[in-house]
Structure formats: C-alpha cells, structure tokens
A and B are shown apart, each in its own frame.
Chain A
Amino acid sequence: MSNGTHPFMPNSPPALKAELLAELGLTDAEPLFAQIPEAHRFRGDLGQPPALADEVSLRRHLRSLIARNRSAEDTLCFLGGGIWPHHVPAVVDEIVGRSEFLTPVWGTPSSDFGRNQAWFEFTSQLGSLLEMPLVGLTVYSWGAALGHAARMAARITGRRTLLVPAALCPERRLVLEGYAASADPAAAITIIDMPMAQGRIDLAALPALLGRHVAAVYIENPNWLGRFETDAAAIAAQARAAGAETIIGVDPASLGLVASPAALGADIAIGSIQPLGIHMNAGGGLGGFIASSDDTAHAAEYPTLLNSIAETVDGRMSFGMMRFHQSSYGSREDGKDWTGNSTYLWAVAAAAYMALLGPQGFHDLGSAIIGRAHTAARTFAAVPGVKLRWADGFFKEFVLEYPGRSVTQVNAALLAHGVFGGLEIEPHAALWCVTEIHSADDIAAAAAALAEVLA
C-alpha cells in the first residue's frame, strides 16, 4: 500500500474509497461489519511478513527463492513414476497462457462457447486415442480417476471388491484407499492385490481371486513397473466372465503404437493427461481422465461434468453440460461422489497437444520413447554394478537394481553429476524414466555418471 493505494485495488485511493463510503452515509468501513459480534472479532497481529507491493521488490524476492530450486531444465531428469518429463510444445504454453482460458470461472454456454468447444475437442480426441465414446471432463489426477472408477464399478455391479496389481504406484494407491474406505463399514470397497510374476499380473493366480463379489479388476498398461500387461485381453475376458468390470489405466503417450484400452476389453479407461503437453509443475501438472462406453449403465454413474455437443435455437453447433443433475452440483449428497474445481485448464492444453501431434505424431512420439528407453536400458545395464531387471516389454520406464548399493546413496552421488536418478521403488532398485526429451548424449552422460558413482 502506498498512501493507502494498491495496484490490485482500483478503489483503494483514499479519496475514491471515501466517495463510496459517502454513498453509504459512512466515513469509515467499520460499521459495515456490525453483523459480526465484537467477541468474534480478531484485533491482533495477523502475523504477515512485510508487504512487497511493488513489483520490482516482489519479483526479486520470488526469483531469489525460485533460484534455489533445480529442475529438469538444468539437470538430466530420469524421474517418472506418476508424473513424467515430456516435451511441452511452445504453442501449448501460449494457448494456456491466454487470459481468456487462464482466468475465467464459469459463464453461459454462449459466453463460454470457445472454451466449451476446446473441452469438446479434448474429450473427442482423447476418445479417439482410447477408442471410447464417453469421456468425462478431467478429475484431479490418475489416482482420483481410479478412486471414482472403482466406485462407479461398485455401483454398476452392486459388488464391493476391487482387484489391483500388487505393484501399484504408492501415491496412486494411497489416493485409492481414501476413496475405497467408508465411515459406513457396509459401504467400503475392499482392495485385494493380484500377485505378479515377472513384473506382470500372474494370470494363473487370477481365477482364485475372481468371483461374484468382485466389482472390478484394475490393471495398467504399461504398469507401475513400466511393463506392458501382455495378458491384458485375457484378464479382461476373465473379469467379464465373472461379471466384473475391467478398468484399464493407460499412458496416453503410448497410444499411437499400443492397443487402446477398448481394444483390450476395458469397460472403463483411466489415466493421466499430464503427458499430453502439461509441465510437471512440481506436481501441479496432474490431471486424470475417465472414459467408457456410453451405455446408460456407465453414463449414469459418472461423477464428472460431461460436456456435450448440443444445438442452438437456430440450429448451430454449441455445447452444454449433460446429465448435470447427477453431479454433486445438481444433487448435493445424492449425486455421484462429488465434483468441483478440477484441472480444466489442462484439458485445453491436452486438446491443443493432441491436435498438434495427430496420428503420425503419436506414432512417432511412441516410437521415439520406446526406442530411447530401450537404448538407455541397454546402455545402463552395461555399467558394472547395474542390473536391468527386465530387458524388454516396457514402454518408457524400467527397473535398475544396484546390488549392494542403496538407491538413496546412488541418487545423491548422481546429483553431483547433474543427474536426477530413477525413482526409488525398493531400497536397491529404482524406476528410470526415458522419454522423447532424452537424447543419445543425455543417455551416455547418465551412463558415465552411473559408472563413476558405482565404480
């Protein structure tokens, strides 16, 4: 504040504020708060640091704090595991930075027309990748999508058991557990792990777990350990035979090459949109999706907003919310789970990203990623002291073991060489992530660093 004036507040200059107060017959704002009993009023120190109201000082301050971070721009980043370093086209940054997309909340179908079209282009293009006709607007994250999908399956089947891979991203599992638990014990969803063999679901163990109590079988392709679930179609067939839903989690960056979840037999597909042109943002780049067939049984259980193509009074194309009544906005506690502010700006980013790539772009992206990941895995496996757990059958992530060395130790030493090493998944094993951003030189540099660290 400078003499009572603040740049974010056009009515803050004292004379202008006094004019407004005069309209109310007041000289001071205090009487306006008469509704609040004096005993409720806080008159003490708000414990705030000094204001930095001028942009020069605030910019210097923020820059000095942010300068203490390292990032995937200045350090070779091989961390993935739920949020991944991918390339974000400059055009996508330009589009999501537009004030019209960045700052609004909610208007009418007419005044929000452009954004609703962008959202429809998001759900339509994602539907093409997934080969599924019904795609909801985004949820918070892959984990949230899994939680909602599990609850949808429970409502559809009237059953309350969910089978999940024993190896599941711990962050995602924790989110799921919250959605599955209940203050009403009869309403809780029981989560049962499917044993794994060679980093995949052990198909032989599945029949013993399936039964008339199972609401859904959840698998991922590729899975948390990076591996393709080569038996996905067989697992889905078994689930279907048992009357259970199949939920498949996928990496959309793989879908130019890899069979769609629909082709593998999924009833519901989920995943993260972060690979589709969204920066990691220290975890703020997450966004989840839920998709399925568009039969009533599934459509009626969506908790998300559903942005539909629609027609105007003069027969032109527009968009509006479909089945709004089943959302928590429409029906409070009688709605399906809940919804609220989500990650809709990222849906716009993903729409632009999918359009930029097109069918050939997704093919090239997938081919580049899988090729580089295998090159990297082979290169790292040649380093003495490194063991590659599975030499093939993965997309962009693979497991390296450091016999006799802890991942913590190895990663600390790699950092000194300018490398964020793979994510620790066991004390002596790490999940490495390689994408289109990693060049042959990057891979060679990381291998050299590993060799020095493990020497």
Chain B
Amino acid sequence: MKRYHAPVWDEPLIMDMGRPGRRGQLFPLEGADASLVPEALRRAAPPALPEVSEPDVLRHYLKLSQQVLGMIGISLFGTCTMKYNPRLNEAMAALPGIRDVHPQQSPETIQGLLDIVWRFDTMLRGLSGMDRFGFQAAGGADAAWTMACMARAYHASRGEAGQRTQMVTSIQSHPCNPATAATAGFEIITLPLGPNGYPTLESLKAAVSDRTALLMINNPDDMGIYNPEITEWVRIVHEAGGLAFYDHANFNGVMGKIRARELGFDACMFMLHKTFGVPKGGGGPAVGAFGCSQALAPFLPGPLVIQQGKGFALETPAHSIGRVREYMGNLHQVVKAYGWTRAMGAEGIREASDISVILNNYMETRLLKIPGVTKSHPHITGWRMEMTRYSLEGLFEATGVSVMDVQNRMADYGIDAFWLSHEPWIVPHPFTPEAGEAWSREDIDTWIDVLAKVVEESHADPEMVRSAPHAQAVRKLSDAVLDETGATTLRAFRAE
C-alpha cells in the first residue's frame, strides 16, 4: 500500500498574520479623494483586516491549497461524476476574450462567445432531443429552480394558477428538487421506493391528480437502478395535465443511450460541472444547462442566443419567467464544456458512458467480496448503471466502525471522501462511489484495495479506525454536528 500524508503547515488564520504597515497591493492614487464621500456616510474606523505583503498572501494560500486532498488523490465522489477537467479549456477561458468580457457588451462585440453558446445549445439538443437550451442557471439546483418557476408560469398561462399546486418526486431525488419546488410555492409529494428499487406505478397514480403541476425525477437513481417504467410515468403525469422534468444528474451512464425528449419529458437538466468536464471549484461557479420542448421554450429565462443573418443576437422569450440569476449565466464554464464535448465527439461520449458503467460493475465484483460490504436492494440482480449504493452496516455491526470512520481512514491513504447518500438515508451506513471514465483501472484497484485494508484494520484495531484520520493536516472534529455554538467569522468567535 502506498503511503500518504497531507502537508501539515499549522498555518495561522490570515487575520492573525502580518505586521502594521505591510501592504499586498497598491493602487494608482492620482486624483484619489476620500473626502468625496458624504460626511454622514463616512466609515468610522478602518476595517479589521490583516496587513500582509504580496508574497506572504501567495504562500499562505498555496499552503492552504496543499491541505486539500480532492482530485490530487483519488476521488470517486458519487453523483458528482468526478472527471478530468482539461487544462486547455482553462487556458482558453482565461483569454481576455472570455475573462474580461462584460456580459452587457453589445452582441456584435461578443460574436465568438455567442457562437460557442449557440453551438453548444445545438450539441445538447442532439444529446437530449430537446428543442432549446439556456445556460443561465448557476448550478443543478438553479436549473431545478428554473423548472419550478417555469411550471408556475406555464400553468398560470393556461388559467390554472392556484389549482396546480403539487410537485411529485421520489425519495431518491436530489434534495434540490423538492426544495426548489417548495420555495416556488408547491406542495411536495414524495413517493417511497417500491420493491424494485423505484416507486411503484400505483403510488404514482395515487399521487397524481388535477392538482399536479410537475414531476421532478432522476433516472437512473443513485443506486444504479434504471426505472424501466419511466415512459409510463411521463404518460400518467401528462394525462393529468402536469409537466415532466428529467434531472439528468446521473447522465454519465446513459450518454448517447437515451434521450429525455424521446422518453416523453418536457424538460431536462445537465450539469456541465459534472458530466461535461467543467471543474467544480469546490462548489461552483457551475452551470445547470436547462433544455426544454418547443412548448415550454417561450417561458425560458432570457436572454437567449439566436441566429440572426450570418451572426448571433440576443432575444428574451415571449413569456419568459425573467431571470434565475443575472445575465446569461456562467458562460466561461460553458466555453469549457464546449471544449470538453468537442474533444470527446459523439463516439467519445458513448465510450465514456460505456467505460463508466463497465468500471462500476467491475468495482461491484470486487467490492462485494469484502466482508461487511453489501449493496442496496441485493435481490435486484443484474448489472447496475454508473454507480451502485453500498452499505457498511455489516462492518459496523461487527466492529462498531461507522461509514464515516471508514471515509476518514481512507483519506489517510490519499483517497478523497466518497459520497455517502443524500438525505434521507435509505440504507444504513451508505456509501456511493462513482468511477466515471477518467480514472484508470489501477486507480480503481487502489481505491478498492484501500477499502479492503481499512476493513481489515477495523477488525484488528477498531479504535484506530474510529479515531481516524491520522495522516491529514488535522484530526477529526470533536463535534460531528455544529449548531448554535458555531461562528462563521473571527469577530463572532472572539466575541464569544
């Protein structure tokens, strides 16, 4: 087993660094005049910020960066599709023609950008069968919010405002689906899972009525189970007058294999920071690319890129819901997604799906041989899709070592945290690795070997595993749950 230890810098907080008088940045001061601030609005005391030199700031944050394991280790964080983020795309998006563009420059000055957006819209139409894409949503949850707002506007346009007040989803959907719909004012109906690993048609029929505004569903779910009745689901919802939204968070295993529109969906969402090679930034800036049918397109948030003569212009759809955030979206990330998708091509995209599903099932054959590891719905035999939900309940019962302990201990071998499960946990001690297409077989084998090793350690020395990690910059928190006692700023912490 290869050894690993995170750098330990014991770096102080930047607010506790520096000496009075030091500067990290100067500004040209010709014409500077603080007295132009009206007297009533002048700041009483300078802000309590550190005084540090430029090299000190650089080295401080370089040290902090070294204390983040992430993709430098092996990260199989399920549902987030950890993949390679091509550095060419970073370099291209850092050109002034993207990075230093104001989004309200006149369209004639950003024809290259609009061309990229238009081309990528067309490519996503090809992958989904949808008629139109917009990129304003700043993440997957914002795309779900887009859908909730569009459903509100769509039903209102048909004279059904106040009548269609319910959103139907599955207990296995991402929390952003019920949360955004509830924020938009919908009542949430959550279907439990049936014996086949997805909710039964009967439960759906019982939930759907003339009050149904919308179905929000993913498929396959995070357990790697594909719902073969999904077209029937869409038909039932449509018959009741509702809309059907496909949360394509788990697209990696079905790229090129199915298309949301052909399955009957009115709209779908792709996460460019997951499936399309855009870096995650530790949680954004991200893009929830939102695609929909011709019937819904007039409600899209604007502005959208349209072809005009030989070039491109911007247009706000006729019944637009407005904005789900300002401007056209995180377009620098769309540029990167376009670069990734062009590099892959149709053949590469299909191949990536194949490899991600092959690797997941390869992992399963090895993981299930490890004592104490089981998978969800074990009675459902056959191949799973691009990820499988496992449980370490057996290990916990035998050793008292929890899934979180294992997560912490694996990090000691350079394996970044695996994903457990969204709330609520349906299987105890869940873990959900997703191999994707960008990790080598050797990486995957290492990951599995480390888990097997930690399971051995759990039997041999459970206390050592329970007290992990031991090879990180810091040990684990004394309290797993931080509530009212926390402090998000140093001023709050020191005031306590």
Task: Determine if A205 is an interface residue (Cβ-Cβ < 8 Å).
Answer: no
23 CB contacts below 8 A, A to B, read A1-B351, A10-B441, A29-B357, A33-B357, A40-B231, A40-B262, A72-B96, A87-B27, A91-B54, A100-B70, A102-B279, A128-B47, A136-B488, A151-B183, A171-B327, A258-B43, A279-B99, A283-B103, A283-B328, A343-B284, A412-B106, A415-B106, A420-B109
Q: Is B407's beta carbon under 8 Å from chain A?
A: yes
Inter-chain contacts of B490 with A (CB < 8 A): 120, 124, 127, 309
A69 and B98 contacting across the interface, CB-CB below 8 Å: yes
Does any Cβ of B come within 8 Å of A256's Cβ?
A: yes
Q: Is the beta-carbon distance between A82 and B326 smaller than 8 angstroms?
A: yes
Does B362 have its Cβ within 8 Å of any Cβ on chain A? Answer: yes
Contact status A338-B68, CB under 8 Å: no
List 18 other contacts, CB 8 Å, given A114-B68, A355-B60.
A8-B344, A20-B441, A46-B127, A47-B126, A70-B101, A77-B102, A100-B71, A106-B282, A107-B411, A183-B162, A184-B185, A279-B100, A284-B330, A333-B188, A341-B284, A356-B25, A370-B36, A371-B31
Q: Is B365's CB under 8 angstroms from A23's CB?
A: yes
B167 to chain A, nearest CB (A): 9
The 10 A-B pairs with the shortest beta carbon distances in the complex, nearest first, are A51-B345, A104-B70, A47-B126, A340-B141, A114-B67, A322-B486, A182-B185, A345-B281, A308-B486, A68-B112
Q: Knowing A24-B365, A284-B333, A372-B31 touch, does A72 contact B346 (C-beta < 8 A)?
A: no
Query: Do residues A111 and B27 form an inter-chain contact, with CB atoms below 8 A?
Result: no
Q: Which of B167-209 contact A (CB under 8 A)?
A: 175-176, 178-188, 190
Q: Is the CB of B325 within 8 A of A10?
A: no
A223: which B residues are within 8 A, CB to CB? none
- Whether a CB of chain A sits under 8 angstroms from the CB of B397 is no
**Is the Cβ of A95 less than 8 Å from the Cβ of B29?**
no
- Given A338-B145, A355-B49, residue A10 in contact with residue B11 (CB < 8 A): no
A195 at the interface (CB under 8 A from B): no
Contacts of A40 in B (CB 8 A): 228, 230-231, 258, 262-263
Stretch at the interface among B87-95, B235-243, B368-376, B450-458: B87-95
Q: Are A174 and B322 in contact (CB under 8 A)?
A: yes
Which of A53-61, A208-216, A445-453 lies on the face that meets chain B?
A: A53-61
Within 8 A of B (CB), among A20-34: 20-21, 23-24, 29, 31-34
For the complex formed, measure the closest distance between the CB of B183 and the CB atoms of chain A, giving whole angstroms. 5
- Contact flags A53-85 to B (C-beta < 8 A → 1, else 0): 101001101111111111111110101011101
Looking at B257, B259, B326, the one whose CB has the most chain A CB atoms below 10 A away is B326
B186 and A120 form a contact (CB under 8 A): no
Chain B minimum-CB-distance residue to A376? B31
Taking CB atoms, residues of chain B closer than 8 Å to A204 are none
Q: Pick from B103, B138, B345, B355: contact of A342, CB below 8 A.
A: B138
- What CA separation (Å) do A177 and B301 show in the bound complex? 12
A132 to chain B, nearest CB (A): 8
Asked if B357 contacts A32 (CB within 8 A), the reply is yes
A13 to B179, CA, bound (A): 43
A19's nearest neighbour on chain B, judged by CB, is B441
Tell yes or no: A48 within 8 A of B by CB.
Answer: yes
A33-B357, A133-B495, A371-B31 known; A58+B342 contact, CB < 8 A: yes
> How many chain B residues have a CB neighbour from A under 8 Å?
224
> Which residue from B13, B32, B65, B283 sits with its C-beta under 8 Å from A106?
B283
A-B contacts, CB under 8 A, total: 759
Tell me whether A17 and B358 are in contact (CB under 8 A).
yes
Residues in B whose Cβ lies below 8 Å from that of A135: 488-489
Chain A residues closer than 8 Å to B68, beta-carbon distance: 100-101, 104, 107, 111-115
Stretch of A138-146, A236-244, A382-390 at the chain-chain interface: A138-146
Rounded to whole angstroms, the CA-CA distance of A32 and B328 in the bound complex is: 39
A141–B478 CB distance below 8 A: no
Provide the B428-444 mask, 1 if CB < 8 A to any CB of A, else 0.
Answer: 00000000011111010
- Tell whether B477 is near chain A: CB-to-CB under 8 Å: yes
Write out, one digit per residue, whether chain B residues 38-81 have a CB within 8 A of any chain A CB (1) or not (0).
Answer: 10111110111111101001101111111111111101010010
B257 with A36: CB separation less than 8 A: yes
- Cross-chain contact B47 with A255 (CB below 8 angstroms): yes
Q: Does A307 reach chain B (CB closer than 8 Å)?
A: yes
In the complex, B113 has a CB within 8 A of chain A: yes
CB distance B477 to A312 under 8 Å? Answer: yes
A198: interface (CB < 8 Å): no
Q: Is the CB of A129 within 8 A of B47?
A: yes
A193 interface hit (Cβ, 8 Å): no
Smallest beta-carbon distance A32→chain B, Å: 5
Q: A9–B109 contact, CB under 8 A? A: no
- Asked if A313 and B467 make an inter-chain contact with CB atoms under 8 angstroms apart, the answer reads yes
Contacts of B93 in A (CB 8 A): 281
Verify A71–B96 contact, CB threshold 8 A: yes
- State A55–B229 Cα separation when bound (angstroms): 42
- A363 adjacent to chain B (CB < 8 Å): yes
B14 adjacent to A355 (CB under 8 Å): yes
A47 and B138 CA atoms in complex are apart in Å by 26
| A83-111 at interface with B (beta carbon < 8 Å) | 83, 85, 87, 89, 91, 93-95, 97-111
Give A451 to B186 CA distance when docked, in angstroms: 55
CB neighbours (8 Å) of A255 from chain B are 43, 47
A12, A104, A423: the one within 8 Å of B351 (CB) = A12
CA distance A111 to B75 in the complex (A): 11
Q: Which among B100, B145, B349 is the interface contact of A48 at CB below 8 angstroms? A: B349
